[in-house]
Structure 1
């Protein structure tokens, strides 16, 4: 940033201006990522450094490269949701209620991710 500022103070070239703009965009993305994590505890996965680390990016890539595996994982998630819903109804799992509720919430979030990816894929 400091080097770019110095080059912009003297005669700026087109590539210097473009570098400054790209750096500003990355800085704003990083700020948005940190703000989101601070507010919600979750990243937005828009900054280039972490965009490809998200579960969403991995699932989208899997859908493109191996649709059968994607559908198998989706079925596993729906089966897990059914399983944990049944666990919550069972009296013998009274001592594991909070853990079962947390697992159910986690699998429902993952299912919504699968649905969003499929909806995006179908709208293309």
Structure 2
């Protein structure tokens, strides 16, 4: 049987790492652009949950941020559980075997620098952030 997946995309938000029975587990969502355009002549993306473990999870947490371009090789895994309302919930995710960083250190630092400039706000309220719409995202 073959269960092998290769994806390239951008991280939607920072990885969430937690400890679980002597393992570190990290999960994040990867936005993967589809290869064809929709009726509006725009590319759409699929948002795929990725799970990483131990050193890989720690490395992703340390060296990536929202928008980082990475490659993921792994396998599809499905599971289910019963929620608080007693309903069965099904989940599909990619369990990574290998992560590849697809940005150079310079590209990563430049993107972070550009993001900080975009979020710079002259308002004196430190909790004031600009509104970001889906069309503003690079993926």
TM-score (norm 1): 0.24
Which one has more relative contact order, counting CA pairs under 8 Å at least 6 apart?
2
Could you say which structure has the larger radius of gyration? Answer: 1
TM-score (norm 2): 0.22
Pick the structure with more helix per residue: 1
